[in-house]
Chain A
Amino acid sequence: MPRDTPDTRAESRKANGARLILQALQEQGVEVVFGYPGGAVLPIYDEIFKQNSIRHILVRHEQGAVHAAEGYARSTGKVGVVLVTSGPGATNAVTGLTDALMDSIPVVCLTGQVPTHLIGNDAFQEADTVGITRPCTKHNYLVKDVNVLAQTIHEAFYVARSGRPGPVVVDLPKDVVMDMGSYTTAPRGIKRQPHKTYQPAYEPDRASIEAAVDLMVNAERPLFYTGGGVINAGPGASKTLINLVKTTGFPITSTLMGLGAYPASGPNWLGMVGMHGTYESNLAMHGCDVMINIGARFDDRVTGNLKYFAPDAKKIHVDVDPSSINKNVIVDIPVIGDAGVVLKEMLKAWKARKQRPNPRALKSWWTQIKQWQARDCLKYSQTGKTIKPQYAIERLFELTKNRKTFITTEVGQHQMWAAQFYRFDQPNRWMTSGGLGTMGYGLPAALGVQLGNPDGLVIDIAGEASILMNIQELSTAVQYRLPIKLFIINNQYMGMVRQWQELLHGGRYSESYTDSLPDFVKLADAYGMAGLRVTEPSKVDATIKEMMKIDGPVIVDVCVDQKENCFPMIPSGAAHNEMLLGPEDEAGKPISEEGMVLV
């Protein structure tokens, strides 16, 4: 039997569990697996060695494997696959799995486990993986019989990618993996399984669509509010969204996770909404009378204080996950379905209507929005001898916008500046940890993105504190010659924490100074990659151009202003129309007790 062709007729032929796993992955179209070996998964690694249709990427920490799989999944639309060993391997993966669950990213994580007769005996490298990952995955499995192994893996892929995508763990005891069993192909191919219980609904109710469009044609101050759900629905959904926005002429804003679905260069774009969103989008959200939420979940970073959220708006909520509806915000018209399908239906229904919104009302809404835009809330001044972080990111955008660029970020002020100043015109180009906010996400995610898009220019915009959390993945970049660019916005502080301490805790910067930083240029050299540093504003462009020219991984240490704060900002507990626009605003309004708890 040829080693590396998927053998899908072999239902009566027996092979060992590890071989069956590889066969199932091949049938699912897996090209890359991110992992780290260990005792419990040795048989699987042996089978990986013997084949070459699936490529294994050795990371340096299991958390990095899961983040890499997330970056791969978000940038390509495919399911990311992780392979880690039992015990500490599985527990190290937990942070990444929780991150994938919060941001709805399809990941299948295969974890090793001690043999079935040793489960529960506190064996070497044993952990109750299924118990630990139960709350942080969409679903998990413990395979106890080799004859259901292949079927379980097919089911895991189906659950990971269907409905609202999410992480799935398959726990594989070593004796099951070494046992002989027979292979079963994915039922009805890999696309549509007749799963007995889990069948998410993709098509919306006719009545909901009609009711939603009824609201839309009568709107006077409408607003589209899109989120990660549009990205998950595929590039087709983005195209339909652009079409719908153009046809209706409504303004559109997006969450952090939804950036790129509607192009930032589009005429109706208002910028990101939320705690660090633009002035015009936050005021539009506060003052709208019809809010059309497509694939977003009314996260607290977007809504601010729920008591004052969009007080006059009738809300339409389009989501594939019924439990997302009415969870934080009670909406008027829920529409359960896939974002792409619903957008198509809405467009059809809109075009079939004769009625259109009052053109004068719409015009005056746009006039009001243009007045808000004139405030130019993102302005900053690049004067003097220190680089402003916003300047560095803006220059990065200007010099990379004509390339096929992918941006990943870590978490903190640099993440917010990246969202504000790097303008995305396509989906699947922006990978960030939104829901969980995991520092250390960006570097391993960039590895996954580069592997999924070999011709792309992949840049991790990082903070110096965040990038140290998974710095060990530099080895992975060098080993596989992945030419990722690490653009470190180095302000020597955990910027976001410091900003909050300035606002809430009287400037007592408790443990937010990043002491004893390594010299990043020397660190790059130690890992065998290029390192650049820039400290002067006039040299920023040249450094970025040099970074792009280097054929290989590069660290760029951008030394920026240490005291710059990220504005606009809606302090926690405040409403959308109580934004702070700059340092002069901070003094005026103290944050309430209630607000302090919500940071």
Chain B
Amino acid sequence: MSSNIYEGSVPTARLKDTDVYRHTIAVLVDNEAGVLARVIGLFSGRGYNIESLTVSEVDPEAQLSRINLVTSGTRQIVEQIKAQLGRLVPVHTVKDLTDEGPSVGRELALVKVDGAGEDRVEALRIGDIFRCNVVDSTTTSFVFEVVGSSEKIDAFIALMKPLGLIEVSRTGVAAIARGAGSLEPRKPGQSAKKAVNSRAKSAAAAKKASPKRKSAVKKAPARKTTTKKSNAGARKRAAKR
């Protein structure tokens, strides 16, 4: 038997793959002081690779921030990264957008090009093709604002190089899963596993749109929490001797 069993786990054979893959990971965290430093410290401390990182508050009321990370590594390393992120106390949820279904990622770049004559005209034409906005212009230079996937931006910059490219400022990738699912914060007292289960169950219940059904489904996680509590209590009682 060589498959890892727990829900969401990766089969053993895939873990032994030594190829390097790029993954986009979205992390929902509490917006508390130092949480970004924690995530970056985790990556630098364990030698993981950050290709791009963006962070911003996404829910001011609930005080939640979202970190979008692009990292690369072998299968085993990527699984480790996700586990280590999940272990940080202020982290609600970790989602691997590359693994878990189709996703869309976008990046914004401000590209400054300083050219004259034909180069200047060519730059404008290419900007048009890439659907850029020109956000600054002088008699000799332009600043293009280009939005798209990382590959599109890489391509644009490559084309600008022979035309007088002098500076690039990129934001890093913001990514989101396609479809109707969402990255949910946890409710107090809810473990990651329960959160996954209850999300799936409430998504299924929403489809059925029957109130009786809905409440029955919602009760199930609560019952499990009680069992967990009494077990945890037993453990603590045992520990107290």
Residues of A within 8 A of B223 (CB): none
Residues of A within 8 A of B2 (CB): 314, 332
C-alpha gap A104/B16 in the complex (Å): 28
A335 at the B interface (CB under 8 A): yes
B129 at the A interface (CB under 8 A): no
Please determine whether B1 and A322 come into contact, CB atoms closer than 8 angstroms: no
Contact with A along B1-28 (1 / 0, CB 8 A): 1111111011010011000000000000
A89 at the B interface (CB under 8 A): no
Complex partner residue of A77 from B7, B84, B191, B240, CB under 8 angstroms: B240
Residues of B within 8 A of A201 (CB): 191-193
Residues of B within 8 A of A203 (CB): 227-228, 231
B238 at the A interface (CB under 8 A): yes
Mark out the residues of chain B between 191 and 241 whose CB falls within 8 Å of any chain A CB in the assembled complex: 191-194, 227-229, 231-233, 235-236, 238-241
C-alpha gap A215/B2 in the complex (Å): 11
B162 at the A interface (CB under 8 A): no
Residues of A within 8 A of B83 (CB): 322-323, 325, 327
Please determine whether B38 and A134 come into contact, CB atoms closer than 8 angstroms: yes
C-alpha gap A207/B10 in the complex (Å): 15
Known contacts: A197-B186, A202-B231. The answer to whether A215 contacts B1 by CB under 8 A is: yes
Residue among A215, A233, A332 with the most chain B CB within 10 A?
A: A332
Complex partner residue of B236 from A138, A191, A194, A323, CB under 8 angstroms: A191
Chain A contact residue count (CB 8 A cutoff):
50
B137 at the A interface (CB under 8 A): no
Of A37-45, A110-118, A336-344, A464-472, the stretch lying at the interface with chain B is A336-344
Number of A-B contacts (CB under 8 A): 129
A496 at the B interface (CB under 8 A): no
Residue among B10, B33, B191 with the most chain A CB within 10 A?
A: B191
Minimum Cβ distance to chain A for residue B129 (Å): 45
B79 at the A interface (CB under 8 A): yes
Known contacts: A202-B231, A203-B228. The answer to whether A322 contacts B87 by CB under 8 A is: yes
A142 at the B interface (CB under 8 A): yes
Complex partner residue of B6 from A200, A208, A215, A340, CB under 8 angstroms: A208
Please determine whether A134 and B37 come into contact, CB atoms closer than 8 angstroms: yes
Complex partner residue of B80 from A130, A142, A192, A326, CB under 8 angstroms: A326
Minimum Cβ distance to chain A for residue B58 (Å): 15
C-alpha gap A134/B76 in the complex (Å): 25
C-alpha gap A333/B33 in the complex (Å): 38
Please determine whether A192 and B229 come into contact, CB atoms closer than 8 angstroms: yes
Complex partner residue of B41 from A135, A207, A330, A334, CB under 8 angstroms: A135
Please determine whether B4 and A234 come into contact, CB atoms closer than 8 angstroms: no
B148 at the A interface (CB under 8 A): no
A321 at the B interface (CB under 8 A): yes
Please determine whether B86 and A323 come into contact, CB atoms closer than 8 angstroms: yes
Residues of B within 8 A of A135 (CB): 41, 45
Please determine whether B5 and A330 come into contact, CB atoms closer than 8 angstroms: no
Please determine whether A197 and B90 come into contact, CB atoms closer than 8 angstroms: yes
Residues of B within 8 A of A131 (CB): 34, 37
Please determine whether B1 and A333 come into contact, CB atoms closer than 8 angstroms: yes
Please determine whether B15 and A341 come into contact, CB atoms closer than 8 angstroms: no
Residues of B within 8 A of A330 (CB): 12, 15-16, 76
Q: Quick one: closest B residue to A130, CB to CB?
A: B34
Please determine whether A234 and B235 come into contact, CB atoms closer than 8 angstroms: yes
Please determine whether B239 and A341 come into contact, CB atoms closer than 8 angstroms: no
B66 at the A interface (CB under 8 A): no
Please determine whether A234 and B188 come into contact, CB atoms closer than 8 angstroms: no
Minimum Cβ distance to chain B for residue A333 (Å): 6
Residues of B within 8 A of A196 (CB): 30, 92, 185-188
Contact with A along B62-96 (1 / 0, CB 8 A): 00000000000000100110011011111110000
Q: Quick one: closest B residue to A428, CB to CB?
A: B241
A139 at the B interface (CB under 8 A): yes
Residue among B45, B87, B241 with the most chain A CB within 10 A?
A: B87
A292 at the B interface (CB under 8 A): no
Minimum Cβ distance to chain B for residue A153 (Å): 15
B190 at the A interface (CB under 8 A): yes
Known contacts: A159-B89, A326-B76, A340-B238. The answer to whether A314 contacts B1 by CB under 8 A is: yes
C-alpha gap A31/B84 in the complex (Å): 33
Please determine whether A199 and B190 come into contact, CB atoms closer than 8 angstroms: yes
C-alpha gap A55/B118 in the complex (Å): 82
Apart from A131-B37, A331-B4, A335-B6, what are 18 other A-B pairs with CB-CB below 8 Å? A77-B239, A134-B34, A135-B41, A139-B88, A192-B189, A192-B232, A195-B188, A196-B30, A197-B29, A202-B231, A202-B235, A205-B6, A234-B238, A314-B1, A323-B80, A325-B83, A326-B15, A335-B5
**What are 13 A-B pairs with beta-carbon distances under 8 A?**
A77-B239, A142-B33, A142-B34, A196-B186, A202-B231, A203-B228, A205-B5, A236-B235, A323-B84, A327-B83, A332-B3, A335-B6, A341-B231
Closest 4 CB pairs of A and B: A194-B189, A323-B83, A236-B238, A194-B188
**Which A residues fall within an 8 A CB radius of B?**
77, 130-131, 134-135, 138-139, 142, 159, 191-203, 205, 207-208, 211, 214-215, 233-237, 314, 321-323, 325-327, 330-336, 338, 340-341
